[in-house]
Amino acid sequence: MKVLLLFILLSFTTSLLAQDGVIVECVMRDGDTQEMYQVFRKGDALMARYRLAPSREVQTTDDIAYTLYEGSDLAEYNQDGKVTKMAQVAGISFDRIKSVSHFGIIESDDGQYFRQIWVLVGPLGQTLAKLYLESEDFLSCHKTRFL
């Protein structure tokens, strides 16, 4: 009985701890400089950590907008060909994309975001690509570790 109670308590504690974690990580390179962004969940809130080049200081913000596009929303979001362009940059077929998650980091007064990251997700829930927007062009996130 004590073992069963301990197992249930341990399972509950593990599930609580698993709720906080990194959702998306993106390293953006431009020549020799790089910026690093990480969106993570802290309790019920979305947060972001980022480091701008050439600074070594890590900043944190809770100014995150999250939008999920799937099904008919995905088709509507692609009316201007945005998702098709993302798929081309990622080197995949549009048909392989089940959903697109958009993360806007730090919204300005004019409704624009300081940084935007898109995650393309396949039919089995696997991440197909992570992209960011730079001067109207989608670019793939690099795989370098954040910190």
pLDDT for position 18: 44
Give the pTM. 0.81
Q: Residue 36's beta-bridge partner residues?
A: 27, 51
SS3 at position 6: helix
Q: What tokens appear for 112 in the block?
A: 């624009």
DSSP 57: -
Q: Is the bond into 54 cis (omega within 30 degrees of 0)?
A: yes
DSSP 141: P
| Residue indicated by tokens 């570790």 | 145
DSSP 97: -
What ranges do the domains of the chain cover?
20-140
Decide: 128 and 96 in contact? Cβ < 8 Å: yes
Strand pairing of 64-70 and 59-61?
unpaired
pLDDT bucket at 145, cuts 50 / 70 / 90: low
pLDDT for position 2: 56
pLDDT tens, 45-84?
999 999 987 778 999 999 999 999 999 999 999 999 999 9
pLDDT bucket at 142, cuts 50 / 70 / 90: confident
